[in-house]
Amino acid sequence: MGLLNKLKNEFIDIIEWLDPTNDTIVHRFERYQNEIKMGAKLTVRESQVAVFINEGQIADVYSPGMYTLSTENMPILSTLKGWKYGFNSPFKAEVYFVNTKRFLDNKWGTPNPVMMRDAEFGPVRIRAFCIYEFRVDDAATFIREIVGTDGDSTTDEVTNKLRNIIVTRFTDAVAESKIPVLDMAANYNEFSEVVGKVIIDEYKEYGLNMTKFLVSNISLPPNVEESLDKRTSMGVIGDLNKYTQFQTAEAIGDMAKNSGGDGGGMAAGGMGMGMGMAMGGQMANAMSQPQQQQQQQGGGAPPPPVPPALTFFAVINGQQSGPYDINTLKQMASQGTLTKETLVWRDGMANWSAAGQVPEMSQVFGATPPPVPPPPPPGQ
């Protein structure tokens, strides 16, 4: 530092800080050799506190307001220095301004997919993203535990240090919830509340307050989402044979429209219709061949169609889910997700009933043997 800057700092007697970045949490006020004149003016604005550190120890913490630095306004530092009568010579101290406003729109996501066991899909991996807000509540604790001797601390530095807390707590909450993957979107508020309560208590250890924690998205890996979309599409299509016939009819109609009005067009249209009919006949033959083979092998009429699988809807965590087949229900019962008291329903039932009262559900929980008969009386 040059001589002019040295003299300039010795005459400055106003200590204040304005944040030009909007994301700085802590700023150390720089002064030549940390010399502050007795009687200097300290200005602490709203959403700030000023922390004085003398010889490595936190001496005084000032809330918003304007102060004249004297022995009367610096009780702890005056006691440490033994200034019983006061004097005008400079004293050496570090001044840290701590920003106490809310820091908004901080984003977080799982660095790796979270493994969990789903009742419908089995083992799956999910990813999650959230938005949270925080502020500094205890400036002295925050400097001791997080900042240390760093002259400027930003939100990125702090969030990177505390990110693992969110990852661990969120992963644990998702794994213990046992909420089906397809129902997680309806439980973002519940996840946010459970994880937020745990994180708030842990952030207090660092002088921070987590003012808001919101889960914004929980998603499956792209390949699983693609398979799920295909499964949904098949459900929308319904009867595959009728869908194929409809597609064939649409193709014949398109060829007829594109045939034009002249003779050549009519010929082309007739050719197109013939091709369409031929394609339809080939499809019909292809679909009828398995039935003919069955008739030839069995020597009689084809067997009746396979009856549809027995499925049930269930009330899980207060919400309707399913339908589930018997194998899935057995798996859910072994995991404790489904009990005999769980309400279930299937097509043909008038109302919801407890699973233990539905005869078809006995194969899910296993048959209960009758009571053991009493022993015969003596002498028989």
Domain boundaries, the chain: 3-99, 103-220, 311-365
Q: Which of 325, 355, 324, 357 has its CA nearest to residue 339?
A: 355
Q: What is the per-residue pLDDT across 298-342, written as a single tens digit (0 to 9) for each? A: 555 667 777 677 888 888 888 888 888 888 888 888 888 888 888
Structural Rg of the chain based on CA atoms: 38
Q: How many of the other CB atoms lie within 10 Å of CB of 128?
A: 24
∠ Cα 326 329 331 (to 5°): 115
- For residue 340, which of 314, 318, 371, 370 has the smallest C-alpha distance? 314
Residue percentage of the chain with pLDDT more than 90: 11
Amino acid at residue number 315: V
**Among the four given CATH numbers 3.40.190.10, 3.30.1490.40, 1.20.210.10, 3.40.47.10, the one describing domain 311-365:** 3.30.1490.40
Residue 236 makes CB contacts below 8 A (sequence gap 6+) with none
| Cα–Cα distance, 67 to 319 (Å, whole number) | 59
SS3 category, 268: helix
- The vertex-52 CA angle with 49 and 53, nearest 5°, equals 135
Does residue 39 have a pLDDT over 70?
A: yes
**pLDDT at position 78 over 70:** no
> Per-residue pLDDT averaged across 143-160, rounded?
84
For the cut 50, the answer to whether the pLDDT of residue 209 exceeds it is yes
Note the pTM of the prediction, 2 decimals. 0.52
**Collapsing DSSP states into helix, strand and coil, what is residue 172?**
helix
Contact 95, 28 (CB under 8 A): yes
Instruction: With a cut of 90, say whether residue 98 has pLDDT above it.
Output: yes
What whole-number distance in Å separates Cα of residue 336 and Cα of residue 313?
A: 16
Distance of CA 89 to the CA centre of its chain: 57
Mean pLDDT of the region 106-117: 80
Contact predicate 246/174, CB 8 Å: no
> What is the average per-residue pLDDT within 140-157?
86
Provide the pLDDT for residue 114. Answer: 76
pLDDT higher than 80, residue 153: yes
Between CA 52 and CA 62 the distance in angstroms is 8
**Tokens standing for 254?**
């398109």
202 has a pLDDT exceeding 60: yes
State the pLDDT confidence band at 279, using cuts at 50, 70 and 90.
Answer: low
Determine the Cα–Cα distance for residues 17 and 98; give it in Å rounded to an integer: 10
Residues across the chain: 380
Is the pLDDT score of 360 beyond 50?
yes
CATH 3.30.479.30 fits 103-220, yes or no: yes
Give me the helices (H) in 118-221, please. 139-142, 155-177, 188-204
